[in-house]
Structure 1
Amino acid sequence: MFHFKQFSVDQSGCAMKINTDGVLLGALATADNPQSISDIGTGTGVIALMLAQRFANAQIDAVEIDESAAETAERNFKNSQFADRLRVYPSGFKEFFEGHPGSKYDLIVSNPPFYINSLLSPGAKKNQAKHAGEGFFKELIQSVSVHLTANGGCWLVLPPDTADMVKALAAQNGLHLQKAVKIRSFEKDEPHREIVVLGFQEIAAEITTLTIYKEVNVYSEEYRQVLKPYFLAF
């Protein structure tokens, strides 16, 4: 059980536990008073819960293909103060959108499986949570282009090489890079993750960097400030 300031997350039944990628995406993803949010691959539900805490007017649809993880997310939602605004759908995103063809979202977020054509891990569930073929991202971006509102934003956290591929796919589907947050462990390190923000409006992309650690085992002040609304330790 992982306790946050306004909710708790039971991680049992989830191949992918709460991690830095997810909480940074949940803390940074934003929109102008979003009324509708979709969290694709919600896992434990932590990102959806973080967004529910911040956006009091938003209804959030969380999609999770793994049945066990979906059950865990649903339990976490029901045990939170935001239960009336959160709903989990136990299906893949493609099936979900096919079943909800008219759905539109002001904010779409995803901490997707991103290891492409790499060595698979022994556990089937962890494979599903961590690995994706290139076709996965093609379908994901196509779905985003159909279900994102005109002024909405899609926030994804990805390794840099996968982020480059996704930006190219976005351009093919009428979406533009609006923002990128390059995440690195230490100040002298190369970024190991990138949060990309896609939308229909063509604007000059804002590129920033976030450093997690000031030194070994000591979080940077910017990391602490980003997660201060959520983490008890901050």
Structure 2
Amino acid sequence: MSKSFFQFKQFLIHQDKCAMKVCTDACILGAYADAENAQQILDIGTGTGLLSLMLAQRTSAHIDAVEIDTDAYSQAVNNITNSKFSKQIEVYHTSVQTFSREFSASIKPTYDLIISNPPFYQQSLQSPDVQTNKALHATTLTFEDLTAAVITLLNANGQFVVLLPPFETQQLTDIAQKKALYLSKKLLIQHNSQKTVFRIISTFQKNPVSDYQEDTLVIHETAHQTYTDKFQKLLRDYYIIF
């Protein structure tokens, strides 16, 4: 059974109401995404609010977080409200499709960074649990819809950073390429060096690139459960065990 909360160095995540719990790969996404020059950030499918809080910890940016599930929205609001970063983050209880339509009719500035750990099962057997389906299955957010929203919401020099399994990464990349959203970086994530890649963090931009940069992050040393130096360096500002 998952813990009902997860303590980070500068904030606490309660997760008992969310289908998507705090996981290592999501933490890697929050720590890895390049937010150095971002002033306006959008978190699509915020869940517990984890990514928004991780980004708020290391930036002065204003962060909008979108969440469609009612319980997850409530939990994100609670986690953010009870953190010292609450003034930086605003949570919206809506789909990103609706948010994008309403946004395009407003005078708000576009985003320097859009980050997402989206539902990724496109066509697969669903769980009987409705909340789990929303979190894991792309029934409420297809890759086509996600790409369309990003193109509307991302500014000309912004970056879209997304976490997916390898097969779904290729699906999204193919869709994005057709819509003039170009892959610029990939981070391949392995449990250890003997395991296959199980997640990829991809960075997209509107400006064309001749080729993308690729890097690998191994979480554990091969022979035991010790975290690699590279992983520890990335998560040191967040994990209380480092």
Contact 2:35 2:59 in 1 (8 A): no
- For 2:49, the equivalent position in structure 1 comes to 45
User: Per the alignment, in what secondary structure is the counterpart of residue 153 of structure 1?
Assistant: strand
Counterpart pick for 1:24 among 14, 28, 48 = 28
CA RMSD across the alignment? 1.4
Deviation per CA, 1:145-173: give whole Å up to 9, x if none.
Answer: 11111111000000111100111111111
Question: Do the aligned partners of residues 27 and 135 (structure 1) sit closer, same or farther apart at CA in structure 2, a change above 3 Å counting?
Answer: closer
User: Per the alignment, in what secondary structure is the counterpart of residue 100 of structure 1?
Assistant: helix
Deviation per CA, 1:115-160: give whole Å up to 9, x if none.
Answer: 1211212311011101115971001101111111111100000011
Counterpart pick for 2:229 among 213, 221, 225 = 221
Residue 85 (structure 1) aligned with residue 88 (structure 2): yes
Contact 2:36 2:59 in 1 (8 A): no
Deviation per CA, 1:2-26: give whole Å up to 9, x if none.
Answer: 1111111111211111011211110
Residue 14 (structure 1) aligned with residue 18 (structure 2): yes
Measured after TM superposition, the shift of residue 46 of structure 1 is 0.6
User: Per the alignment, in what secondary structure is the counterpart of residue 225 of structure 1?
Assistant: helix
For the residues of structure 1 that align with 2:238 and 2:118, how far apart are their CA atoms? 22
Which letter maps to 2:12?
S
- For 1:232, the equivalent position in structure 2 comes to 240
User: Per the alignment, in what secondary structure is the counterpart of residue 194 of structure 1?
Assistant: strand
For the residues of structure 1 that align with 2:14 and 2:218, how far apart are their CA atoms? 28
Q: How does 1:57-206 map to 2 (within 5 A)?
A: 58-101=61-104, 102=106, 103=108, 104-133=110-139, 136-203=142-209, 204-206=211-213
For the residues of structure 2 that align with 1:90 and 1:134, how far apart are their CA atoms? 14
Contact 1:21 1:111 in 2 (8 A): no
Question: 22-31 or 114-123: which moved more?
Answer: 114-123
User: Per the alignment, in what secondary structure is the counterpart of residue 218 of structure 1?
Assistant: coil
Query: Number of aligned pairs?
Result: 233
Contact 1:183 1:192 in 2 (8 A): yes
Measured after TM superposition, the shift of residue 219 of structure 1 is 1.5
User: Per the alignment, in what secondary structure is the counterpart of residue 71 of structure 2?
Assistant: helix
Gaps of 5+ in 1: none
Q: Provide TM-score, normalisation by structure 1.
A: 0.96
Which letter maps to 2:17?
G
Which letter maps to 2:79?
N
For the residues of structure 2 that align with 1:134 and 1:177, how far apart are their CA atoms? 24
Question: Do the aligned partners of residues 98 and 92 (structure 1) sit closer, same or farther apart at CA in structure 2, a change above 3 Å counting?
Answer: same
For the residues of structure 1 that align with 2:186 and 2:88, how far apart are their CA atoms? 28
Question: Do the aligned partners of residues 23 and 118 (structure 1) sit closer, same or farther apart at CA in structure 2, a change above 3 Å counting?
Answer: same
Residue 54 (structure 1) aligned with residue 55 (structure 2): no
For the residues of structure 2 that align with 1:135 and 1:93, how far apart are their CA atoms? 8
Deviation per CA, 1:191-220: give whole Å up to 9, x if none.
Answer: 111101000122331101111110332211
User: Per the alignment, in what secondary structure is the counterpart of residue 192 of structure 1?
Assistant: strand
